[in-house]
Structure 1
Amino acid sequence: PETWSKIAKLFNYPFLYGRGLDARPGIMGGGAMEINTVPRFDSPDTQGVVYSKIPKLQFPVDSQGRAVLVQDVTYYSKAALYDAFKAWRDGGPPCSGQFNMKAAWKPRLTTHTPRYDQAGKPIAGVEQAFDTRVFEGNVWGVQWFTNNISPKGLFPQYFKEVGGKRVAVAASDVPAATGLHQQEFKRADRGGPYTSPNTGAWTRPGPKRGPYTVNLIDGSRVTYWWYRFIDQPSLQQYAWSEEKKARLQALVEKIHATWPIDRDYMPPPTRGRLATLDPALLVTPPEGLEVGYVPIVTHQAAQ
């Protein structure tokens, strides 16, 4: 809540006040996959007809041409975790952190054919390549069809402007005169090293112990320090009283002491496997800092 209030004040945008979940309930609508701005090349053929090309967008598909995108959708009421956690915070019995499935509801998913646009014009023909589906088991995803536009798992990459629309076409239907087949999208540049500031919130109150380093599988080396939870830099922007900070620190220490990392707090997925993390990202607190302390990265660079 404090963060949104700061943003509203900074940009003189009072609309944001009182719109957090601390002030009003949230309404969950439909799911979405946001791609944001998609770069493209536009080029005319010898007749002046405009063709376009977008980057390759590939989905993992099974042997039946299905891409599973959403599963196990569950809504939880306050009784699932909030009530027990708040009671624990206020001196009540310990809270395990596990969601109470008796306070959960699994909705029946529905779907419809999405709309797409490009350069302010509607896109047509994508539905010949794939469409959204609700599969068995209340699973939402995309079903690819046998088509002449794009292989299964690939979003159409080429389009032709026809009658105010951008129509999906096969790569073989794009005239060589457009030069689009040879056009390549620039790859992202490797970022420079990250180093945190050595003043302000990073040093006052500052870390308890460090530095420590770990090598990641992406080829970078990370430097981190151990901060008391309430002393971590991101929390120093708030004008909290010493009493409030002490209460929050005490609550975090109870969580660290009683909630192990090898417990299922939410039900595991009904199908598939969870993504894994680089094992090097799971660090062990040094002796004496097992409870109430967190690792904060201060530097990352290529090895």
Structure 2
Amino acid sequence: MPGIVRSLCLLACVTFAFPQTSLFCQDSAGPTEAEMAGYLLVPHERVDKKYDAGFSLYVNAWPLLENYPGQRFQTGLFGTWMFAQSDTPRSMDTYSDIEGGLGWWRDTRFATETPKFIMGGVAKSFSEWANGPGAGKGRDWSKPNGKYGVAQLSPHIVWPPDGLNLEQGTNGKLFGYGYLPLPLADAKPTTAGQDVPTGDQCWTLFLNTGNFKGPVAFFTPYFWTKPSLKDASLAGKFLDSRPANPNKAIQMETQYVPAFTAVDSNGVTFARIAPTRFPHDAEGNSPVVHRVTAFEKSALWDDVQAWFAGGDPASGKVDANASVVQSFEPRGGSTWKLYPVGTPKDQRITIDWKAFATPVNLDASTYGYRWNEELVTKPAAGAQALVKLPEYFRLTDNNKGAKQWVAVQAKDVPAETDLANVIFPRAINHSAQPYVTPEESTSPWKSPGPAAGPFRIDLGDGSVLTYSWYRFADQPAILNADLTDQEREAMQKKVELLHRNWTKDRDYLPPPTRGELADLDPALLVTPPKGLEVGYVPIATRQERAPKAKAP
């Protein structure tokens, strides 16, 4: 009976009182709310610094948790952090990078079990960040904080401010992406009227998915330079002008997975985590990262620059001869820790990950895991191809006398802990506030304003996206990129060349050598109105939950 009451209490807390910070209506004798967090580390080959013009990689996309648990849930899937090369050690005083990827975030408003993608550009010391066109730090447009940091480039796909949607239910497929600089802007000796230079590198997101390929959007150079206006000594240290460091960390960063702990009558502590899964292929392995590639600047920049100067059209296909595929090392670790909520960092206890997961090189360019089948649960015949990690753990001492959590079977957890009756129900944020954009007639959203629209599309995450078509040079991000009218028009001409020549159905990034590509939500693929096929881009102006939306 206590377990049933607790389950009902949990359901009420999570489902109906969402988004409270607590997932648990705790009684004094029952399980204690806990969490799991940490990194999974992917060691790989270091390469020469000449490969300084970006990267591409393929990461497995899958629903990590069985049920989306609410807005406290924050974790990426496997991804990377691209910093500018620097002659001095990195510090928070100059921290700036591109660190987006697939995942779930606390500010995701229309989340499901299927991950979304964000660009994740970070300006100096997290002063601003930019996640996509119209998406950045916070939602207060009087403090843009990066929301104008990304400009839309593609006329074929519209970017939701809540994150780029994959097709709902995506599981075990590869999501290909990368960043390379395009010479869309010219370097400037001054910025916003000050003697602070801005570089010419427009770091552009390229995708390789099943239903869309090519460039999508780019960080404006001004996004990186803007913090230097307050400290001119920082000029020239960021990605607008500096080459990229090809030796990037590849990791899976998890900040919160819900869990509970309980103590039995013998004083032994047990824990249970929300059902957590990994992709599972026909051989019983979990491939997670594939074909990490670093590029020299000549891989794309030189041909495009010559084209913009009047030469022959560049194909846009990255030159494989100016790239290197970084190999993986058959090792790797985990810093996953499990602890009651509020536990100080120095008292959080690690999980014995290696007892049930073994890192492996599945081929020369694919990293993944094999599993201890006595501790994980393989998918049943006909079920989703997902292996479930251990749910239950016991706190014990390792051979060095340090505390650690070891995986145990459900039958080995005393019934008195009541952990078997804890549930992790699905949460839906029915009260999610819409994303909106400025309505003032003088705002860059209205002046000069769109050329066509608004249009509405229903997305697979249960939201409705409203968007309009803007002339590229008149989109809000470009109007806020510290460009003169002449500079904007020069950029417009370059973009029109791209729109006429670069289609969405051929390879730009090096393709994968294994697996199947994931699809984007088909609703995001749009067609320009007649007469606006070249030089115009779709810009989202509102995103809201669909009326009486049900869980996807």
Taking structure 1 as the reference length, the TM-score comes to: 0.88
- The separation in 2 between residues aligned to 1:95 and 1:261, in whole angstroms, is 15
Q: How far did 1:26 drift? A: 1.4
In the alignment, is the contact (CA less than 8 A) between 1:201 and 1:233 conserved in 2? yes
Q: How far did 1:122 drift? A: 4.3
Q: 1:247 to 1:121 in 2, by over 3 A?
A: same
Counterpart code for 1:226: W
Matches within 5 A, 1:7-26: 18-20=237-239, 22-26=241-245
Is 1:114 the equivalent of 2:333? yes
Q: 1:8 to 1:151 in 2, by over 3 A?
A: farther
Q: Which runs of 5+ in 1 are unaligned?
A: none
Q: How far did 1:254 drift? A: 0.8
Q: Report the equivalent of 2:99.
A: none
Q: How far did 1:256 drift? A: 0.4
Q: Report the equivalent of 1:125.
A: 352
Matches within 5 A, 1:153-232: 153-163=387-397, 164-185=403-424, 187-190=426-429, 191-199=432-440, 200-232=443-475
Q: How far did 1:137 drift? A: 4.1
Q: How far did 1:171 drift? A: 2.2
Greater share of residues in strand: 2
User: Which 4+ residue blocks in structure 1 deviate beyond 6 angstroms?
Assistant: 12-17
Counterpart of 2:376 (choices 150, 158, 162) is 150
Matches within 5 A, 1:1-303: 1-6=221-226, 18-20=237-239, 22-118=241-337, 119=339, 120-147=347-374, 149-152=375-378, 153-163=387-397, 164-185=403-424, 187-190=426-429, 191-199=432-440, 200-301=443-544, 302-303=546-547
CA RMSD across the alignment: 2.6
Return the structure number with greater relative CO, CA threshold 8 A, min gap 6: 2
Bigger mean CA offset, 245-254 vs 151-160: 151-160
Q: 1:117 to 1:67 in 2, by over 3 A?
A: closer
Q: How far did 1:142 drift? A: 0.8
Taking structure 2 as the reference length, the TM-score comes to: 0.50
In the alignment, is the contact (CA less than 8 A) between 1:133 and 1:141 conserved in 2? yes
Counterpart code for 1:151: T
- The separation in 1 between residues aligned to 2:286 and 2:235, in whole angstroms, is 37
Residue-by-residue CA offset, 1:12-51 (whole Å, 9 max, x unaligned): 8987971326224313234212222333222222223222
Aligned residue pairs: how many? Answer: 301
In the alignment, is the contact (CA less than 8 A) between 1:121 and 1:166 conserved in 2? no
- The separation in 1 between residues aligned to 2:516 and 2:336, in whole angstroms, is 34
In the alignment, is the contact (CA less than 8 A) between 1:126 and 1:156 conserved in 2? no
- The separation in 2 between residues aligned to 1:94 and 1:244, in whole angstroms, is 21
- The separation in 1 between residues aligned to 2:435 and 2:249, in whole angstroms, is 37
- Alignment partner of 2:493: what SS? helix
Larger Rg: 1
Counterpart code for 1:247: A
Q: 1:169 to 1:4 in 2, by over 3 A?
A: farther
Bigger mean CA offset, 183-192 vs 103-112: 183-192
Identity %: 37
Q: 1:183 to 1:21 in 2, by over 3 A?
A: farther
In the alignment, is the contact (CA less than 8 A) between 1:150 and 1:170 conserved in 2? no
